[in-house]
Structure 1
Amino acid sequence: MNAPCISVLMPAYNAAGTVADALESILAQSFTDFECLAVDDGSTDDTAVVLEALAARDARVRVLRVPHGGIVSALNAGLAAARGNYIARMDADDYSLPERLKLQYDFLECHPCVGMAGCRVAFGGGEDAGGYARYVDWTNTLLDPDRIAVERFRESPFAHPSVMFRASLIQQHGPYRDGPFPEDYELWLRWMEAGVRLAKLPQTLLRWDDPPTRLSRTDARYGTDVFYAMKTGYLARWLAANNPFHPHISVIGAGRMSRRRAMLLRDHGIVIDRWIDVDPRKIGNVVDGVRVCGRDCLPAPEAGFSLAYLAGHGAADDLEAFLHSIGYVAGRDYLLAS
């Protein structure tokens, strides 16, 4: 049996109520040269029954049943069994539009310098999920590999089930890593640190649902503290390689949470010269041994490097407008780190 061009990797755990629709959206793709590796992660409901019924109907579906070990174990089991030159991710509660595989495959075939192609996604959450919806809106603005690279320390720039990547990346850089961190974000950071270019198609090709059981809502590995602890190591190495004034930086944001996140860099040898804030009540204080200054203390363009740790919807956009007005360039003079 000839190997397919694409292996669609879909882990499923207790997803009997949604997995049929998710898998049907893959089987309805206009691009047909694929296999779908449906990895049943030790489900205790009828997930396996649903998957086996679909596999009996369509030979492109391969069901792998593994003991329950979590998403990383299931993903890596699927990767080990995959035969395609490309790996497309899919989740058991999302929905792929019919042209998704074709457009991502065509893009990667035409752009050999790009290792992974995501796509814009439609948010399938409810009215009470404003934060997630804003996150989706942000990810949908990131298309160009250079923009993705410079924005990567804010949040994960891709919806995990929306991506397709070259299987050779797993051979070169290893599979998903299991630990107290989001497995997808760690993979993207690892690849970009190695120089892999990641892009995103402008078309909306996936409906990304947000049920209450989504792992990013329920699993401790997706919590804010572990998120920052993991990405800080990658950020520190980026600074060591790209900041001409290493190990010195200024940190924009002097609030308690901003300082807590920025202080993680000290464990990696980064020296914080000053906190920059706009609150006149903070300016002049010394916090954690570092003086709080106003924006007038920012280094001139190309005379220092700044990291911004800001909370609040819209704060980053307002800051970037100001920084650009004084000649700052993202990646040269500053990065947004939250």
Structure 2
Amino acid sequence: MRGRDRFALPILRRARRDATLTRPAVSILLPVRDEGRFLGETLASLSAQTYADFEAIVVDDGSRDASAAIAEAHARDDSRFRVVRAQRAGMVAALERGRAEAEGAFIARMDGDDVALPGRLETQLEALESEGLTACGGRIAYFPRRLVGDGGRRYERWINGLVTPEAAALDVFVECPLPHPALVVRADALAAAGGYRDCGWPEDYDLVLGLWRRGARFRNVEEVVLRWREHPDRASRTDPVFAQGAFVSCKVDHLRRSLLVGWESVVVWGAGPVGKAFARELTKHGTAVAGFVDVDPRKIGRRLYGAPVVGVEAAARFACSFALGAVAREEGRQQVRDVAAAQGRREGVDFIAVA
């Protein structure tokens, strides 16, 4: 049956499945640690999905609050939910424990402090099946809005714009193009990518880059599928794997395994903090930095990490080096992209934007 036909009768999918009879189409992985304040709302949002053929595996990562008890109470009311109590071993271990229990052909992610919109799974599965995607995310809405700063609003606008596979692929080294709490991925593709790895950097971004390196097509669906809760205890604010240096290490590792293969050196377009961070990490791992290109006259003529900083008019001297457009702000990245294209660079071939 074609993918679109499979989801043509959503009323049949809205009836709650009998968890004892068949393998579910979707396995939702929900690792939690001390999420008792928000977990009830999260679980209720999953039970309210219009697409009902799923199992939800809640892995309690050694919570010291009532998280496990809240999840177990919910599981008694909804047989699609299972709770695994685990030792406090961290996010990756919890995800892999859940993945080992999963039976679905698709793996969906959820965090214990967020809220899924009712049509989330139905919308994402329709896109996956009808378009032959490997994975997909969806548009997000941070809440409560009073706690969302300028950076969060910029990130929300950016990620909500990545609604085609082409746009997501072009920005794959800027930040993670799929919001992990909204991710749905084919289980076999997740396994082929090695599952979730503990490398000292964000496991979600590592996975998405691993999928991309294997030729995966992914995008965010146009509908808002997740309300992403902003609060000071979010893991992305407290866990060192989400430090900026860890993100750069992750990106450089995957760059060296993909686009930089066969290139002897790199030229970094941008001699600011982003460009310097990438140059340090590249040099650390043995990739030569031939030079920097910048528009700031105060930087031109200097040397960074032993490499010269030149103006745009002199960029052609690095024609034999792969170019990284290392600029933090979106407007600046677009300017670098325009100049690179004018000089004959091809994005994804001898040039890529990073941040």
- TM-score between both structures, scaled by the size of structure 2: 0.87
Deviation at 1:38, TM superposition (A): 1.3
Match of 1:102 in 2: 122
After superposition, what is the alpha-carbon deviation per residue over 1:67-103, rounded to whole angstroms, capped at 9, x for unaligned? 1111111111111111111111111111111111111
Alignment partners' CA distance in 2, 1:287 and 1:300:
17
Distance 1:301 1:102 in 2: 49
The 8 Å contact of residues 19 and 93 in structure 1, kept in 2 or not, is answered as yes
Once the two structures are overlaid, the 10-residue window that deviates more, 258-267 or 47-56, is: 258-267
Which of 126, 129, 137 is equivalent to 1:118? 137
Query: What are the equivalent positions in structure 2 for 1:61-80 lying under 5 Å apart?
Result: 61-80=81-100
Q: CA 1:68–1:287 in 2, change beyond 3 Å: closer, same or farther?
A: closer
The amino acid across from 1:58 in the alignment is D
**Structure 1 residue 127: deviation in Å?**
4.1
For the residue of structure 2 that corresponds to 1:233, the secondary structure is: helix
User: Counterpart amino acid of 2:186?
Assistant: R
Letter in 2 for 1:285: R
Counterparts of 2:317 and 2:301 in 1: how far apart (Å)? Answer: 20
Query: Paired residue for 1:232?
Result: 252
Q: Give the aligned partner of residue 25 of structure 2.
A: 5
Task: Show the 5 A alignment for 1:187-202.
Answer: 187-202=207-222
| Equivalent residue number for residue 9 of structure 2 | none
Q: 1:12 to 1:149 in 2, by over 3 A?
A: same
Q: Structure 1 residues 43 and 287, CA, compared in 2 at 3 Å: closer, same or farther? A: closer
Q: Give the secondary structure class of the aligned counterpart of 2:134.
A: strand
For 1:177 and 1:115, the matched residues in 2 are separated by 19
Aligned partner of 2:242 in structure 1 is: 222
124 and 322 in structure 1: CA distance in 2 versus 1, 3 angstrom threshold: farther
Aligned to 1:249: 266
**Separation in 1, partners of 2:318, 2:277:** 26
> Which residue identity is paired with 1:4?
P
Is the Cα contact below 8 Å between 1:262 and 1:309 reproduced in 2?
Answer: no
CA distance in 2, matches of 1:302, 1:291: 15
Using the alignment, how far apart are the partners of 1:255 and 1:164 within structure 2?
36
- Secondary structure at the residue paired with 1:258? helix
Aligned length: 334
One-letter identity of the residue aligned with 1:332: V
Amino acid at match of 1:274: G
Aligned-residue offset at 1:145? 2.0
Quote how far apart the aligned CAs of 1:302 are: 7.7
The answer to whether the 8 Å contact 1:182/1:227 transfers is yes
Match of 1:19 among 29, 32, 39: 39
Give the equivalent residue in structure 2 for 1:136: 156
Structure 1, unaligned stretches of length 5 or more? none
In 2 relative to 1, CA 311–149 (structure 1 residues): closer, same or farther, beyond 3 Å?
closer
* Alpha-carbon distance, 1:165 to partner: 0.8
CA RMSD of aligned residues (A): 2.1
| CA offsets 1:259-283 (integer angstroms, 9 cap, x no match) | 2322321244433222111111221
1:320 corresponds, among 309, 321, 337, to 337
- How far is the alpha carbon of 1:325 from its aligned partner? 5.2
SS of the aligned residue for 2:175 comes to coil
> For the structure 1 residues 235 and 92, does the alpha-carbon distance in structure 2 shift closer, same or farther, using more than 3 Å as the test?
same
The 3 A distance-change label for structure 1 pair 253 and 318 is same
| More divergent stretch after superposition (16-25 vs 254-263) | 254-263
The percentage of counterpart residues that share the same residue type is 35
Q: Residue type matched to 1:298 in 2?
A: A
Using a 3 Å threshold, how does the CA distance of structure 1 residues 193 and 257 change in structure 2: closer, same or farther? closer
Contact 2:143 2:229 in 1 (8 A): yes
SS class of match (1:314): helix
SS at match of 1:298: helix
Which secondary structure does the structure 1 equivalent of 2:256 belong to? helix
- Give the Cα–Cα distance (whole angstroms) in 1 for the partners of residues 79 and 100 of structure 2: 19
Alpha-carbon spacing, 1:109–1:239, altered in 2? closer, same or farther (3 Å): closer
Give the Cα–Cα distance (whole angstroms) in 2 for the partners of residues 287 and 89 of structure 1.
Answer: 41
1:185 lines up with 2:205 in the alignment: yes
DSSP-derived class of the 1:299 partner: helix
Is the 8 Å Cα contact of residues 249 and 270 (structure 1) preserved in structure 2?
yes
- Pairing 1:93–2:110 present: no
Distance 1:257 1:195, change over 3 A: closer
- What residue in structure 1 maps to residue 167 of structure 2? 147
Structure 2 residues without counterparts, runs of 5 or longer? 1-20
Letter aligned with residue 62 of structure 1? R
- What is the CA distance between 1:17 and its match in structure 2? 1.1
- Is the 2:259–2:349 contact (alpha carbons within 8 Å) kept by the matching residues of 1? no
Q: Deviations over 1:254-312 (max 9, x none)?
A: 23552232232124443322211111122122332211111111239987532122235
Structure 2 counterpart SS, 1:4: coil
Query: Are the aligned partners of 2:142 and 2:148 in contact in 1 as well (CA < 8 Å)?
Result: no
Moved more, 216-225 or 192-201: 192-201
Distance 2:329 2:106 in 1: 38
Question: 1:302·1:333 contact (CA, 8 Å) conserved in 2?
Answer: no
Among 327, 343, 350, the residue aligned to 1:310 = 327
